[in-house]
Amino acid sequence: MRQSRPAIYLTSETHHSFVKVARMTGLGTDALREIPTDSRLMMDIDALQSRIDADRVSGWHPLMIVGTAGTTSAGIVDPLEKLAEVATEHGIWFHVDAAWGGSAVLSPRLKGGVAGIERADSITWDAHKWLSVPMGAGMFFCRHPEAIKRAFAITASYMPNAIADDTVDPYATIAQWSRRAIGFKVFMALAELGTSGYGELIEYQAQMGDYLRERLHQLGWEVVNETTLPVICFTHPDIQQGLLSTSEILQTMYERGHVWISDVVLGKQERVLRVCITSFHTNESDIECLLEEIEYARQRNL
């Protein structure tokens, strides 16, 4: 009897690293199931359910659902609670990519926006993003240590035995053998700030994001993404009417060299400008400088 092939469910907004995962593990990109998003760029739950049901009928094995807590392009948080329910119903592994948006859990004001993340089977979270730890400091959390042990733990005569039964050797939990002391810089930051101190920094940066949204609106720009995280995607009627492009605005800004932002395509449709605030040094004067440069570039290219 032919064994069913595993399927992984994600969206077009999911980080491209999962394409690499499918390739590296030998599953192949055919295993990736791109689920449509709704008008807010969140994974469509009904479409997910339908695809899972169809895959089972077609002989596929639903393996993993990937929810994102803060997409790279627009800071969108998938409906994690509902994704967890679907995963539980079908017995599917639920992974949350919280590479930078996961830091919201440290903020009393923002943590509700990532509700459901605690139900994940595994989580990725990068301290070198919103936690401002030097590059790179990726973190992986899993509630199933036995699964990690089956995948990575091996015995080698040239490696020392564990000193105690509760000791976990790093080489037995990931693919790497030799590792740098990555966790030390995370520990030092926590020792200095504590979780409450980190929470204050996170909330402050989110407030700067809110300030930028308000000022863009006042100047006639349109914010096109819905998120409490400090990622602001925006456009202008002049861009929508084809009078100028985001690339023209960016080129002018880059030539002047005062600020740096980027553009991005959302939902495979509209190219818009994008600002991501992840520095605790950012203040209102920085925002005003950015706005002056954006407005200068717009008017110069009309």
Residues 105 and 143 in one domain: yes
Residues 39 and 176 in one domain: yes
Res 212: pLDDT: 98
274 sits in which H/E element? strand 270-276
pTM: 0.92
Q: DSSP for 164-203?
A: STT---GGGTSS-SS---THHHHHHHHHHHHHHHHHHHHH
Rounded to whole angstroms, how far apart are CA atoms 31 and 63? 9
Residues 232 and 179 in one domain: no
**Contact (CB, 8 A) for 186 and 133:** yes
Give the number of other CB atoms < 10 A from CB of residue 300. Answer: 12
Q: How far is CA 284 from CA 119, 280, 298, in A?
A: 37, 12, 21
Q: What is the DSSP letter of 31?
A: G
Report helix, strand or coil for 61. strand
Query: Among 132, 155, 185, which residue terminates a domain?
Result: 185
Residue-level pLDDT, tens digit, the chain, 302 residues: 457 899 999 999 999 999 999 999 999 999 999 999 999 999 999 999 999 999 999 999 999 999 999 999 999 999 999 999 999 999 999 999 999 899 999 999 999 999 999 999 999 999 999 999 988 899 999 999 899 888 888 877 887 776 666 777 777 788 888 778 888 999 999 999 999 999 999 999 999 999 999 999 999 999 999 999 999 999 999 999 999 999 999 999 999 999 999 999 998 788 999 999 989 999 999 999 999 999 999 999 98
Residues 50 and 141 in one domain: yes
Q: What is the DSSP letter of 2?
A: P
Query: Among 122, 154, 185, which residue terminates a domain?
Result: 185
Res 2: pLDDT: 56
Residues 146 and 276 in one domain: no
Rounded to whole angstroms, how far apart are CA atoms 125 and 15? 13
Residues 114 and 178 in one domain: yes
Which residue, among 144, 138, 128, has the nearest Cα to 179 in the 3D structure? 138
Which residue, among 289, 131, 102, has the nearest Cα to 197 in the 3D structure? 131
Q: What residue numbers bound the domain in which 115 lies?
A: 5-185
Rounded to whole angstroms, how far apart are CA atoms 116 and 88? 12
Residues 217 and 277 in one domain: yes
Query: Among 185, 216, 249, which residue terminates a domain?
Result: 185
Res 205: pLDDT: 96
3-state secondary structure 69-126: ECCCCCCCECCHHHHHHHHHHHCCEEEEECCCHHHHHHCCCCHHHHCCHHHCCEEEEE
Residues 52 and 26 in one domain: yes
Give me the number of domains the chain comprises: 2
Residues 9 and 148 in one domain: yes
Kindly state the tokens that stand for 155: 């015995």
Kindly state the tokens that stand for 27: 């599953």
Residues 209 and 231 in one domain: yes
**Contact (CB, 8 A) for 122 and 141:** yes
Residues 33 and 180 in one domain: yes
Burial of 135 (0-12, 13-18, 19+ CB in 10 A): exposed
Rounded to whole angstroms, how far apart are CA atoms 29 and 20? 9
Rounded to whole angstroms, how far apart are CA atoms 245 and 238? 8
CATH of the domain at 15: 3.40.640.10
Residues 216 and 160 in one domain: no
CATH of the domain at 202: 3.90.1150.10
Rounded to whole angstroms, how far apart are CA atoms 151 and 165? 19
